[in-house]
Amino acid sequence: MTAFLTIIIVLFIAIAIWQMVKIFDLAQVGASNSQIADDKDNKLNGYLMIGFLVFIYVITIVSIVKWGDLPLLSNSASEHGPQIDNLMTISLVIIFIVQTITQFLLHYFAFKYKGEKGRKALFYADNNKLEAIWTIIPVITLAGLIIYGLFTWTSIMNVDEDADPLVVELYAQQFNWKARYAGQDNVLGMANVRLIDNDRANILGLDEADPNAQDDVITTELHLPVGKPVLFKMRSQDVLHSAYMPHFRAQMNCVPGMITQFAFTPTITTAEMRQNPDIVDKVKNINDIRTEKSKELVAGGDEALDPYEFDYLLLCNKICGKSHYNMQMKIIVETQEEYDAWIKEQATFKNTITAN
């Protein structure tokens, strides 16, 4: 209904604009109007430039105040998360400063030097010193950012094999995720899509002959023990997907024909995160929105929405087809004991595969 109304309004606006423009245009015929800006235009647009500068500042501040409390800038739930968040914050501050200054200069000059008949501009074609300054300042700033960035990147992407990470495969297919745990031996069994045999429940194409595959565990929920490094091996059976785990500041594409990897250490359990005051606020806010919406739905004869409870998520973040927008998996970070109890209850590959 809202949409319908909007369309009607938009159509009306469009027609109104067209008509207004026409009248406006006709009204000018005859006026000795050269269609070249005169002093009056310069003045008006000069003032509007200042107005626009204010608009840019206002939209920046409003955006920061209203939407700047970003989940991606705080409450990261992995060991390397704060590193990224720091770098991001520093970059944002630099951007904010540069943006504020340069937009000021641009719009202020546009206002200050608005044309007047009879005034002559300054003939000023070059100044090597000035240009050297604004080459060197970005060079230094960027050098700092590059160095910081590269250290961060290298430390995130280097997998520390000595830390004895828990090995988990993330398996993508149109349009869902599976996780495969390496089992007791912590070595994933060999697998290839050519071995997939859905009739016998070999859905990920594990090699039945591989001893390492026997104790592998395939699940539809991702459970991770807190504080333990996890090494993800990503695989896709059909098209590109991307395993995006925003709370952990983690992302890697899943590429058919290739195994990609990403490692991180979760630091906050789901239960702890649900107690975090920021998250409590966010959840409450979301639930208020959902309650409002539910009222509308119920009035229209539909079912109300379920209340929202915080969970970590794995989202697909590479266009993969029709249901790309709904390709997700729940991630649960828990204590080692809880994790051990959970994994013990999962059936191993050996036990789920059906006989020929």
Partner 1 sequence: MSAHADTHAHDDHGHHHKETFVTKYIFSMDHKMIAKQYLITGTIMGIIGIVMSLMFRMQIAWPEEPNVLFEALLGKWAPNGVMDADIYLALVTIHGTIMVFFVLTAGLSGTFSNLLIPLQIGARDMASGFLNMVSYWLFFLSSVIMVLSLFVEAGPAAAGWTIYPPLSALPMAQGGSGAGMTLWLVAMAIFIASSLLGSLNYVVTVINLRTKGMSMTRLPLTIWAFFVTAIIGIISFPVLLSAALLLIMDRSFGTSFFLSDIFIQGEVLHYQGGSPVLFEHLFWFLGHPEVYIVLLPALGITSEIISTNSRKPIFGYRAMVVSILAIAFLSTIVWGHHMFVSGMNPFLGSVFTFTTLLIAIPSAVKAFNYITTLWKGNLQMNPAMLFSIGLVSTFITGGLTGIILGDSALDINVHDTYFVVAHFHLVMGISALYGMFAGIYHWYPKMFGRMMNKNLGYIHFWITAICAYGVFFPMHFIGMAGLPRRYYTNSNFPLFDDLANVNVVITVFALIGGAFQLVFLYNFFSSMFFGKKAEQNPWKSNTLEWTTPVEHVHGNWPGEIPHVHRWAYDYSKPGHEADFVPQNVPLMDGEEELQH
Q: Which is nearer to partner 1, 42 or 219 (CB)?
A: 42
Which long-range contacts does 315-318 make (Cβ < 8 Å, 24+ apart)? 315/244, 315/245, 315/246, 316/172, 316/175, 316/177, 316/241, 316/242, 316/243, 316/244, 317/242, 317/243, 317/244, 317/251, 318/240, 318/241, 318/242, 318/253, 318/254
Q: Closest Cα partner for 232 from 184, 152, 178?
A: 178
DSSP-assigned beta bridge partners for residue 219: 179
Q: Quick one: what does residue 337 bind among Cu ion, partner 1, none, with the CB cut-off 5 to 8 Å set by partner type? A: none
Q: How far is the CB of 176 from Cu ion (least distance, A)?
A: 10
Q: Quick one: what does residue 184 bind among partner 1, Cu ion, none, with the CB cut-off 5 to 8 Å set by partner type? A: none
Q: How far is the CB of 113 from partner 1 (least distance, A)?
A: 5
Q: Quick one: what does residue 10 bind among Cu ion, partner 1, none, with the CB cut-off 5 to 8 Å set by partner type? A: partner 1
Q: Which is nearer to Cu ion, 167 or 331 (CB)?
A: 331
Q: Which is nearer to partner 1, 187 or 196 (CB)?
A: 196
- Sign, CA torsion 134/135/140/141: positive
Binding site for Cu ion (CB under 5 A): 241, 316, 320, 324, 327
Q: Quick one: what does residue 199 bind among partner 1, Cu ion, none, with the CB cut-off 5 to 8 Å set by partner type? A: none
What gap in Å lies between CA 18 and CA 80, rounded to an integer?
Answer: 55
Q: How far is the CB of 258 from Cu ion (least distance, A)?
A: 17
Q: Quick one: what does residue 67 bind among partner 1, Cu ion, none, with the CB cut-off 5 to 8 Å set by partner type? A: partner 1
Local structure of residue 201 (DSSP, 8 states): T
Q: Which is nearer to partner 1, 92 or 271 (CB)?
A: 92
DSSP-assigned beta bridge partners for residue 334: 225
Q: Are 39 and 119 in contact (CB under 8 A)?
A: no
Q: Which is nearer to partner 1, 98 or 163 (CB)?
A: 98
Q: How far is the CB of 337 from partner 1 (least distance, A)?
A: 28
Q: How far is the CB of 313 from partner 1 (least distance, A)?
A: 6
